[in-house]
Structure 1
Amino acid sequence: MRDIPASLLEVTVALDGSGDYTSIQRAIDEIPHQREYPTVIYIQAGTYYEKLHIEKPFVRLIGDPDQPTVIVYDDYARKTFPDGSLYHTFYSYTVFVGSDDFRAEHLSFINSAGAGEQVGQALAMYVDSDRASFYNCRFIGQQDTLFTGPLPPQPIDRSTFGGPREGVPRHYQRQYYKHCYIEGNIDFIFGSATAVFDECEIFARKRESLSTLSQDAEGSHEPVIHGWLTAASTPEDVQYGYVFLDCQLTSDAPPHSFYLGRPWRNYAKVAWIRCHIGAHIHPTGWDNWNKPEAESTVVYQEYNNEGAGASIKDRVSWSYLLDSTDAENYTVEHILAGDDGWVPK
């Protein structure tokens, strides 16, 4: 294994062997430990079938801006290890980022495991990183496409979460997504980070196994719910959770078949600001996940949205419309500054 000199800041990965490496993970593995400066890994166009694990700080992954540069894997929650134990959600990732100051540009992160009960959750990206930023990236999956760490304090349905961050101390995390495309159906943006999605497209993907309409006891028809865009688990003492600024909410699903969000944990915070909301969003907007007690603790906000699904006339009573004064605080700089004044660039 060759050493990367401490002064070397850039390496190239190319499938055809024309770069320094043919494997992205190999390039990451050879970054010196305790490096205090960015290492830029340029990834030439192509499809890289790799499951990436990144725990070195200041890593920059830069794809080709003109041709698709794809990182894809197909693990899933119901897959089993050789000893018969399940992967569960948090081992199913295509890419795991567990170190701070990560940046990615012009890359597609895909979990190709598919859908259905035999697959379950399948993460395209697991970001357990502070000051992480993504520009012109695509995140594609079905259930649980993008997880923004940290994990909540305790699981709901079993004794451990599993996955690479089991038992690791939790810390406050800020993440920034600019001009990104995020696709999925069930809770496909979820987690505890403070994250800004700036001019992104949020594509709600219909579930092929579901019919379009269901019939209630009185014979009227209601749309079948295909999913939820967000499932935040914002800590109680954190002011901002997910903030979507000037985003496009698109879908191939029937009208009224998606909710803007539901609370994975009771203090979930989600705001949609100046977004174009498609007809696939249910008129009530939000779902309590069968947790009536969460209705008094969640912070679900909207401001100056437009589109067929933006009307607030039938929204649930426990969400609310921001006024113009409060909305002035919803800027990238204000939300993500933290104690160190971080401004993503």
Structure 2
Amino acid sequence: MLITVSKEDKADFTRLQEAIDSIPVEYAEAVTIRIRPGIYEEKITIPASAPPILLLGEDSEKTILTWSDNAHTLGLDGEPLGTFRSGTLNVLAEAFTAENVTIRNASGPGTGQAVAAFVDADRAVFRRVRLLGDQDTLYTGKGKQYYSECYIEGDVDYIFGAATVVFDSCHLHNKRSRGYITAASTPEDAAFGYVFLDCKITGAEGVVDVYLGRPWRPYAHVAFIRTSVDGSITPEGWHNWGQPDREATSRYEEFGSFGAGAASGARVSWSRQLSAGEAVDYRIITILDGWHPEGY
């Protein structure tokens, strides 16, 4: 099934949520929703009952999904939404793919937790997607997820959650000094949490003392493999979130980091530099336990 969406009213729908809601209940075949360039100001939910959906934009710079809820925004019930209801795009269905779009939370800096993409589903794929926000930009709730050639920006804990995720050739951009890129909550029995392969880290002008991550929960796992790291990253690299006991369980790893912020000899003692032999095991097919995302 192919559904088209355009702001110019030359398509099946002018609003993305209407297109999603038009999919018949219990429809099981794959659906492609082609989104033409435009700024779509709406809060979007892919329900858990949805079939495999490909959300396909033409140009990520010109196809923008945006909303501005944050944790303090009041919901219809009169209560604050909280972090987990603040998302612009909310993905609850398995086998979802997004390509060539921007997903933005426009709440702004200093407004607290404000999620751009809330992805609480297995086998989610994002390719050439721009994820824009400040605090808590991307939530990865569960399952296995894959992000390829994406641009992700933020300031505090802007990639967070429990899923096993591969970030393949992505660009991470730090917007504020003394921030944190990751806040993983990897389950104790999960072999992998967040794995960044051949990625790039940059900071806005004047941004310094940013940490690669801090453990939202014990047993957090984050690995940066062959990452270009600029001077916005603090030499010690990792933070214990003020809880020294998490130093014993957190699994923070690097291999082949390069650039002004690499500083492997200055990292905290409870992180690890992987050997070449260990880094060989950090392959997409291994990390995702046999799932090959190119099929979606």
Taking structure 1 as the reference length, the TM-score comes to 0.83
Instruction: Give the C-alpha shift of residue 82 in structure 1.
Output: 4.7
Aligned to 2:170: 200
1:330 alignment partner in structure 2: 282
What residue in structure 2 maps to residue 268 of structure 1?
220
Q: How does 1:149-160 map to 2 (within 5 A)?
A: 149-150=141-142
2:145 is matched with 175
Write out aligned runs for 1:14-53 (5 A).
Answer: 14-53=6-45
Aligned to 2:71: 77
Matched-pair contact (CA < 8 Å) for 1:228–1:260: yes
In structure 2, the partner of 1:344 is 293
Per-residue CA shift, 1:42-94, capped at 9, x if unaligned?
00000000100111130110001376100000001111235431111011110
Return 5+ residue gaps in structure 2 as ranges: none
Once the two structures are overlaid, the 10-residue window that deviates more, 68-77 or 251-260, is 251-260
Amino acid at match of 2:248: S
CA distance in 1, matches of 2:79, 2:61: 39
**Structure 1 residues 229, 253: CA separation in 2 closer, same or farther (over 3 Å shift)?**
farther
**Which of the residues 100, 109, 113 maps onto 1:115?**
109
Q: What is aligned with 1:185?
A: 155
Q: Is 1:285–2:240 an aligned residue pair? A: no
Q: After superposition, what is the alpha-carbon deviation per residue over 1:208-248, rounded to whole angstroms, capped at 9, x for unaligned?
A: xxxxxxxxxxxxxxxxx530000000000000000000001
Question: CA shift at 1:255, angstroms?
Answer: 5.6
The answer on whether the counterparts of 1:126 and 1:147 sit within 8 Å (CA) in structure 2 is yes
Aligned to 1:96: 90
| Deviation by residue 1:128-179 (Cα, 9 ceiling, x = unmatched) | 11111011000000000000003xxxxxxxxxxxxxxxxxxxxxx0000000
Deviation at 1:187, TM superposition (A): 0.2
Count of aligned residue pairs for this structure pair: 292
SS in 2 for 1:26: helix
* Whole-Å separation in 2 of the counterparts to 1:64 and 1:83: 37
Misfit runs of 4+, over 6 Å: none
Q: Is the 8 A contact 2:60 2:128 kept in 1?
A: no
- 1:136 is matched with which residue: 123, 128, 134? 128
SS at match of 1:203: strand
Q: Is the 8 A contact 2:60 2:129 kept in 1?
A: no
- Structure 1 segment 287-302 matched on structure 2, within 5 A: 287-302=239-254
Q: TM-score, normalised by structure 2?
A: 0.96
Do 1:204 and 1:253's aligned partners in 2 also have CA atoms closer than 8 Å?
no
2:198 aligned to which of 239, 243, 246: 246
CA distance in 1, matches of 2:15, 2:79: 29
- Separation in 1, partners of 2:237, 2:251: 13
Alignment of 1:210-225 (within 5 A): 225=177
Cα contact 1:226–1:253 (8 A) shared by 2? no
Asked if 2 retains the 8 angstrom alpha-carbon contact of 1:256 and 1:283, the reply is no
Distance, in Å, in 2 between the alignment partners of 1:329 and 1:38 is 33
**Corresponding position of 1:210:** none
| Amino-acid identity (%) | 45
Cα RMSD (Å): 1.2
- Verify: 1:64 aligned to 2:13, yes or no: no
Distance in 2 between the 1:58 and 1:20 partners?
19
C-alpha distance in 1 between matches for 2:238 and 2:38: 39
Q: Aligned equivalents of 1:13 and 1:75: distance in 2?
A: 23
Q: 1:100 to 1:83 in 2, by over 3 A?
A: closer
Deviates more, 1:78-87 or 1:276-285: 78-87
Per-residue CA shift, 1:249-295, capped at 9, x if unaligned?
01115364200000000110000000100101000000000111100
User: In structure 2, how many angstroms separate the alpha carbons of the residues matched to 1:286 and 1:84?
Assistant: 38
Q: How far, CA to CA, are the matches of 1:87 and 1:203 in structure 2? A: 27
